[in-house]
Structure 1
Amino acid sequence: MQNICAGKDSWPELLGVEGEKAATIIESENPTVKARIVEVGKVVIQDFRCDRVWVWVDKHGVVARVPRTG
């Protein structure tokens, strides 16, 4: 799939990192996005946005899915 968003769009290296720290890293590496922390299993809006990154965390607040724009 072609990257249609500006800047970095995926952070696989953040799996297992504390969610707040991951959000800070994401926003520093791509200042065009806002990282939103959400617990796995919660319902989120499904529209695609280049300015948003869902940071999926487990019950301990640790990143459980690869954060990516959308």
Structure 2
Amino acid sequence: MALMMALLLAKTKFVTNDVVRDEPSVMGSFIDDLAAGKSAWPELVGKKGGEAKAVIERERPDITGAIFVPQGAFVTDDYCCNRVRIILDGSAGADLANAIVAAVPVIG
């Protein structure tokens, strides 16, 4: 059902000065991500951060921002189609590349 709804909302009509034009919405970006390949890596939970980053970058070379984030850190809630946040069990001062992945890395 959610995928069907996403397909319906993939494009949004904008009316400006009596001209109607199509613009891709955030949902359109999400659908493009799904079409491009893998969008989540549940198998990386429990692995080291550096290993997870290498796997993500190898499987999705279009991802330009695979970034380490300590668990509990504040992050923005914007959606970015070429970013994966790797949530790690470690403090900000720790060696995050060796910290353990605490949540499923997903595009966004």
Q: Same fold (TM over 0.5)?
A: yes
The 4+ residue runs of structure 1 with deviation greater than 6 A are none
Match 1:23 to one of 53, 56, 70: 53
- 1:19-60 superposed Cα distances (whole Å, 9 cap, x missing partner): 011011101000111211110011112110110000000027
Amino acid at match of 2:102: A
Matched residues in 2 for 1:31 and 1:8: separation? 11
Q: Which has the larger radius of gyration?
A: 2
Matched residues in 2 for 1:35 and 1:8: separation? 14
Aligned length: 70
In the superposition, the TM-score normalised over structure 2's length comes to: 0.60
Taking only aligned residues, the RMSD between alpha carbons, in angstroms, comes to 1.4
Gaps (5+ residues) in structure 2? 4-29, 91-97
More helix, by proportion: 2
Amino acid at match of 1:38: V
Match 1:58 to one of 79, 85, 89: 89
Of the two structures, which has the highest relative contact order with CA contacts closer than 8 Å and spacing of 6 or more? Answer: 1
The 3-state SS of whatever aligns with 2:100 is: coil
More strand, by proportion: 2
Q: Percent identity?
A: 41
Matched residues in 2 for 1:50 and 1:27: separation? 14
Aligned to 1:10: 40
The 3-state SS of whatever aligns with 1:37 is: strand
Matched residues in 2 for 1:7 and 1:45: separation? 24
In the superposition, the TM-score normalised over structure 1's length comes to: 0.90
